Amino acid sequence: MLHFTRWKIIATLLTCLAGLLVALPNFFPKETVQSWPSFMPKQQLTLGLDLQGGAHLLLAMDQDEIKKDWINNLRDEARKELRDAKIGFTGIGTQGLTQLVVKLAKPEEQAAALKALNKVRQPIGNALLGAGAYDVEVSSGTEPGTIVIKESDQGLRQRVANAASASIETINRRVNNLGTSESTIVRQGADRILIQFPGLKDTTDLKKLIGETAKLTFHEVHPSMSGDEAKMTKVPTGFKIYPGDKGESSGEYLLREQPVVQGADLADAQPGFDSRNGEPVINFRFNQIGARKFANFTKDHVGRPFAIVLDDKVLSAPVIREPILGGSGQISGSFTVEGTNTLAVQLRSGSLPTKLTIVEERTVGPSLGADSISAGKLAGVVGGIAVVILTILYYGTFGIFACVGLLVHLILTVALMTMIGAVLTLPGIAGLVLGVAMAVDANVLIYERIREELRLGKMPVSAIDAGFQRAYVTILDSQLTTLACAIIMFWLGSGPIRGFAVTLTIGILTSIFASVTVVRLLISYWLRAQPKGRAIYVPV
């Protein structure tokens, strides 16, 4: 056990050296590291949000809204397919949020209707792998002359996934407009989106920016009936009552549900000021399609109001004075300057497919992060000194070797974390410090064995040899069980548990090398340095 081949010595020393080199940048300030020559590694440990400050937002999509949109779309499509196929129907009703029931006028047209309605199905996923799978099932209902269109779970999953990726794209665009870099926006689970924003102090703007879907639509206002009147009597088909924005005095509006132009047709939106009264407004421009639709509509409706609707609330309902042919216009409302900035960004980045709610928010100020780092450092130094004192007091010279092993363990852990780009969190620091205490356990096991073997009367060299050999199994067993625990933590845990698990796992991996191989190498050198022909005192 104590004999090292030449290549093994070289490999051990090289590993230590490489570890030191990789870990080195972490012990200097960033600016110093930047000025180092190019051959030196410059990568530093990534600090978690809790240490460098920043915001962590977990957003959830509204699945019910996605379902509602989908079922409404399906109903429109089904209606269209039946009309195109000239099949009469008495009604299409929704059942819950996942099912449509079509009642045919003539039951004998069942087969033809089924064929027509099959067109609303969309194949799911990969064309090669998912052959034959559709997002909805079309089948005959239990009563004659009815057809049931049922959404599948797979279909819903795909809708949610699509909405999530669309949302991520939109948030990305909005956030980029905020001018902050280094943000991470990823999907988490089925219907969640995680945003991490290192270094962000104030989340108010961020939250405002992602809090609105920003679905902008332009609607025709009912020519003769007001929202209040419609409420008293009956809402005409194709129309819907929309609430006004808070600033608007005149309560509710009766608008045609189908918008004239949608936000998707916007080419640009910029904040600006009204030239007449100096109020903040948003100047917008449509793309070609939008401009054409808007021109046609305004030509036909001169002298009548149209409504600008944002997220189903009426911002304003100006009267069309003359046809707007150029495709650009102005939105006024009761805006603040900041409000127009945010809204312009939201409009430019497109609308979110569904509203996102913040289900978890964790923000840490940069000053607290810095405080945590210094507290962690202080605790680490004090704890480290305590371990060193205890070990040397207990084991003498061999205790010093153990401490060298601990140092190597610490450096290698930091190096490995830097290399794989692991994130250091506050619990991670605790894990690092605790790892030092646990790593000493391997040496304790070995040294206790050596003591026992010496007591049994073995000669020093064979006692040391036996100590390493016999303790090795125990060390492996105890470290592997801890490793199992750490892997579970990483796999199932979240937040602080994960950060801790990462450092613990890496710490376990390096501790065997550091406290067994490195310490063994030191001891074998020490043995060789003993004067020949004289007594060897084993200093444990």
Partner 1 sequence: MLMRLIPVFKGFDFFPHDLNLPFMKVKGPALVLSIIAMVVSIGLIGIKGLNYGVDFKGGSLIELKTKSGNADISALREKLNSIGVGSVQIQEFGSPDDVLVRLEEQPGGEAEQQAALKKVVDATSETYVERRVEVVGPAVSSELRMTSFIAVAAGILAIVAYVWFRFEWQFALGAVLALSHDVIVTVGIFALFQFEFDLSTVAALLTILGYSVNDTVVVSDRIRENLRKFKKMELNQLLNLSINETLSRTILTGMTALAVLISLYVFGGEVIRNFNLAMLLGVVIGTYSSIFIAAPLLGYLGVKRDWSDLAAKAVATSKTKAKA
Shortest spacing between CB 474 and partner 1, in angstroms: 4
Shortest spacing between CB 122 and partner 1, in angstroms: 29
Distance CA 94, CA 444 (A): 71
Please list every residue from 54 through 83 that binds partner 1, using CB under 8 A: 58, 60
Of 203 and 213, nearer to partner 1 (C-beta) is 203
Candidate list 198, 263, 333, 376; residue touching partner 1; CB under 8 A? 376
Candidate list 117, 445, 502, 523; residue touching partner 1; CB under 8 A? 445
Which one-letter amino acid corresponds to residue 425?
Answer: T
C-alpha 164, offset from chain centre: 11
Binding segment (CB under 8 A) for partner 1, from list 229-237, 251-259, 292-300, 363-371: 363-371
C-alpha 352, offset from chain centre: 17
DSSP 183: -
Give the pair of three-digit tokens for residue 240.
């819907």
CA dihedral 348, 352, 358, 360 (to 10 degrees): -100
- H or E element at residue 46: strand 46-47
Q: Is 164 in the site for partner 1 (CB under 8 A)?
A: no
Which of 67, 96, 87 minimizes the C-alpha distance to 145?
Answer: 87
Give the pair of three-digit tokens for residue 97.
């949020």
Binding segment (CB under 8 A) for partner 1, from list 114-122, 251-259, 416-424, 435-443: 435-443
Q: Is 480 in the site for partner 1 (CB under 8 A)?
A: yes
Q: Is 395 in the site for partner 1 (CB under 8 A)?
A: yes
Q: Is 89 in the site for partner 1 (CB under 8 A)?
A: no
Binding segment (CB under 8 A) for partner 1, from list 160-168, 242-250, 257-265, 362-370: 362-370
Q: Is 492 in the site for partner 1 (CB under 8 A)?
A: yes
Binding segment (CB under 8 A) for partner 1, from list 116-124, 231-239, 409-417, 440-448: 440-448
Q: Is 457 in the site for partner 1 (CB under 8 A)?
A: yes
Binding segment (CB under 8 A) for partner 1, from list 202-210, 218-226, 339-347, 511-519: 202-210
Candidate list 427, 510, 520, 524; residue touching partner 1; CB under 8 A? 427
Burial per residue of 503-535, b for 16 or more beta-carbon CB atoms within 10 angstroms, e otherwise: bbbbbbbbbbbbbbbbbbbbbbebeeeeeeeee
Candidate list 82, 364, 415, 506; residue touching partner 1; CB under 8 A? 364
**Block residue for tokens 């250091």:** 424
Sign of the Cα pseudo-torsion (408, 411, 417, 418, in order)? negative
Candidate list 440, 506, 516, 521; residue touching partner 1; CB under 8 A? 440
Give the pair of three-digit tokens for residue 320.
């069309």
Q: Is 370 in the site for partner 1 (CB under 8 A)?
A: no
Q: Is 326 in the site for partner 1 (CB under 8 A)?
A: no
Candidate list 94, 118, 397, 469; residue touching partner 1; CB under 8 A? 397
Binding segment (CB under 8 A) for partner 1, from list 35-43, 309-317, 336-344, 444-452: 444-452
Shortest spacing between CB 378 and partner 1, in angstroms: 4
Which residues fall within 8 angstroms of residue 126, CB to CB, at 6 or more apart?
none
Q: Where are the beta strands (DSSP E) in 121-278?
A: 136-140, 146-151, 184-188, 192-198, 216-220, 239-243, 252-256, 261-262, 266-273
Shortest spacing between CB 523 and partner 1, in angstroms: 14
Shortest spacing between CB 364 and partner 1, in angstroms: 5
Candidate list 430, 512, 519, 521; residue touching partner 1; CB under 8 A? 430
Shortest spacing between CB 207 and partner 1, in angstroms: 7
Please list every residue from 12 through 51 that binds partner 1, using CB under 8 A: 50
CA dihedral 288, 289, 290, 293 (to 10 degrees): 120
- Number of Cβ within 10 Å of residue 264's Cβ equals 13
Distance CA 137, CA 99 (A): 10
Q: Is 208 in the site for partner 1 (CB under 8 A)?
A: no
Q: Is 452 in the site for partner 1 (CB under 8 A)?
A: yes
Binding segment (CB under 8 A) for partner 1, from list 150-158, 330-338, 343-351, 460-468: 460-468
Contact (CB, 8 A) for 460 and 536: yes
